Amino acid sequence: MYPRIYINIGILVGILYTPWWFGVLALVLGFVFIERFYEGIVLAAIADTLYGVSYRDAENLYLTYLFMAVILFIVLMFLRTRLSFYALS
């Protein structure tokens, strides 16, 4: 349980103090390697409130990080049962 807390704090520090691409990469790795990473959705919402940009061409699409995090979470939730990589752990 404690390594999960340290990983969450590390991702939060990465979102706050590093370039945007490091935070996105850390979130993706968190979703891939941590099972049921619900905190990643909250961290994506925090990143979106800090760095989010509205797109006027896409009918005012907001919360880009949050949408990507939710989609990645749902896709990986279904893939975990079907990939042999996750069956070994």
C-alpha pair distances (Å), 46 with each of 49, 58, 86: 5, 22, 28
For the segment 49-77, the average pLDDT, to the nearest whole number, is 77
7-16 pLDDT, tens digit per residue, is: 899 999 998 9
Please give the average per-residue pLDDT across 47-58, as a whole number: 71
Domains in the chain: boundaries: 2-87
Q: What is the pLDDT of residue 12?
A: 92
More confident residue, 53 or 36: 36
User: Averaged over 55-72, what is the pLDDT?
Assistant: 74
Query: Given this model, what pLDDT does residue 58 score?
Result: 54
How much is the pTM?
0.76
Integer-rounded Cα radius of gyration of the chain: 14
For the chain, the average pLDDT equals 82
CA distance 76 to 66: 15
